[in-house]
């Protein structure tokens, strides 16, 4: 192959890789809590964990057993989301606080 064919093939492969990775579903939600805490949580299609940006740091929470809705915890942080739409957060030895989407 000559250099031009290699360059075209490389560009096509690169763009195909970017397109394939963008196909994964992702959801990001912004929350504000009653105690003033704000955080962003991200969920990805093939990952059962919750990925938070909280207090200026990234925290990954594993999915835990919940009777209603979802519960995630790890690194001293617990996030609960009920089927009724109630979201609570507990972190940094603070009491549980109610949070809402912003």
Give the CATH number, domain containing residue 41.
2.40.128.200
CA dist 99 and 85 (Å) reads 10
Hey, what's the torsion of the CAs at 62, 65, 69, 74, to 10 degrees?
A: -30
Please give the pLDDT value at position 8: 35
Query: Residue 24 has what pLDDT?
Result: 67
Question: Which residues form the domain of 37?
Answer: 25-101
List beta partners, residue 88: 80, 98
Q: How far apart are CA 58 and CA 52, in angstroms?
A: 6
Place of tokens 């925290």: 59
Q: Is residue 70 in some structural domain?
A: yes
Residue 88 belongs to some domain of the structure: yes
For 62-82, the pLDDT digits (tens) are 999 999 999 999 999 999 999
**Which band of pLDDT confidence, cut at 50, 70 and 90, is reported for residue 4?**
very low
Q: pTM for the whole thing?
A: 0.75
Mean pLDDT, residues 17-31 taken together: 69
Nearest to 94 by CA among 25, 20, 33, 11: 33
């Amino acid at each position: 192959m000559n250099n031009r064919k290699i360059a075209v093939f490389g560009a096509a492969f690169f763009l195909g890789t970017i397109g394939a990775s963008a196909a994964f579903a992702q959801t990001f939600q912004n929350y504000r809590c009653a105690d003033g805490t704000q955080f962003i949580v991200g969920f990805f299609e093939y990952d059962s964990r919750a990925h938070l940006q909280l207090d200026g740091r990234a925290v990954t929470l594993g999915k835990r057993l919940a009777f209603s809705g979802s519960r995630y915890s790890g690194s001293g942080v617990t996030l609960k989301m009920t089927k009724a739409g109630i979201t609570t957060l507990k972190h940094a030895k603070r009491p549980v606080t109610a949070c809402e989407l912003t």
